[in-house]
Amino acid sequence: MTGASPHTLRVTLSGDDRPGVTFALLAAVAEAQAEVLDLEQMVVRDHLTLSVLLGGADTDRLTSLAHSVGHRLGMRTRTRVGQGDSNTRRDGRAHVVALGQPLTASGLAAVTARIAAHGANIDRIRRLSRYPVTTIELDVSGADVPRLRVELATVAAAERIDIAVAPAGLARIGSRLVVMDVDSTFIQQEVIELIAAHAGCEEQVAAVTERAMRGELDFAESLRARVALLAGLPATVLDEVRDEIVLTPGARTLVRTLKRLGDTVALVSGGFLEIVGPVAADLGIDHVLANRLEVADGRLTGRVDGEIVDRPGKAAALRRFAAEAGLPLSRTVAVGDGANDLDMLAAAGLGIAFNAKPLVREQADASVNVPYLDAVLFLLGITREDVEDADADAGTPTPAPPVISPGNPTRV
């Protein structure tokens, strides 16, 4: 614009939120034929902060117009003259997501202190959810993502909050493949222990399961040993066990939301297809891989039918499902809790340990230690409002915020 000022003006209005504030400011500065170079607005409860970077006009006139709007609206107005556009954000952009129940000020202080000590800058902050957990996302620049992930893992452990660090950019946008373990991840129980209870050997099986999940035993060998204890049980016991399955709180919400976003969902289990298959079918899950129990004359033989789904098998399944969906591994997410899931978590673009054993938490990209599986959505940058909007579009009633109390996770 001929004769336009080479200077820019940053205008910030703050005060009670109400409709029309943004319009009032922009309409006023439009009289001076100002150009909008940058614009950001946020509301915390009922307090609004609006900041706009203006150019292309006389800064003195813009300052006068801005203060006039602020005075008329009863808002605080701050202006600052500068030159040029907003600074270009540095390389090394990342999303840092922190969630907790509760999310404490001391925890967030430790996160932001570590980011600053890392030499990175926080560009933007927003809340992703207020229930069933509080989740805050920080957009960061100037980060070495792998190193920052390691540094913040230490903070997460010390402050008892969950933190995920993911590269920003196109890798976070578009379709995903989400692969989940089943026992003690997608469901609350260990299926083989439920079956073992009918055979009177639950304690023996549980002890072997625990050692296998800690990585102390080879999974395939431990599975064969546990299944051998089930020999002679009538196959009808599987129908009874299926009725005993309890989904992890938030499991239905997680799957429903991912499917409505166009994502592919899979269950990969060291458990048994006879139990997992119907659960997956009921929820519209795309892929299922699990072991089969051998049955002869209507009774369990105590053997597994076919190749065992073990630690390498889970990772291979993730790669196969990704290839079938036409997705690179960077677009995959894996969720699990035991040593048997480590290869799958390592192979995925984002590996999430869900209420996991210490060995798994140490090696995963991110960890969730609240009892709600739908908290995984927030680590992917999906907000609580996005979930509710998806439900509204599909005509699904949005459940009321739960009464959160330890030992009483009711969300499904």
* Three-state SS at 284: coil
Catalytic position from the list 58, 60, 123, 183 = 183
Q: Is 19 exposed, middle or buried (0-12, 13-18, 19+ CB in 10 A)?
A: exposed
CA–CA separation, 159 vs 155, rounded Å?
Answer: 6
Which amino acid, 5?
A: S
* Three-state SS at 39: strand
Q: Are 95 and 138 in contact (CB under 8 A)?
A: yes
CA–CA separation, 66 vs 13, rounded Å?
Answer: 9
Catalytic position from the list 181, 337, 343, 374 = 181
Q: Are 271 and 192 in contact (CB under 8 A)?
A: yes
Is 286 assigned a catalytic role? Answer: no
Report how far apart, in Å, the C-alpha atoms of 277 and of each of 104, 175, 274, 289, 292 are: 40, 24, 6, 8, 11
Residue 187 DSSP label: B
CA–CA separation, 251 vs 273, rounded Å?
Answer: 18
Is 181 assigned a catalytic role? Answer: yes
Report how far apart, in Å, the C-alpha atoms of 46 and of each of 25, 43, 105, 133, 385 are: 19, 6, 21, 21, 18
Of 108, 136, 139, the closest CA to residue 123 belongs to 139
CA–CA separation, 315 vs 41, rounded Å?
Answer: 43
Supply the residues annotated as catalytic. 181, 183
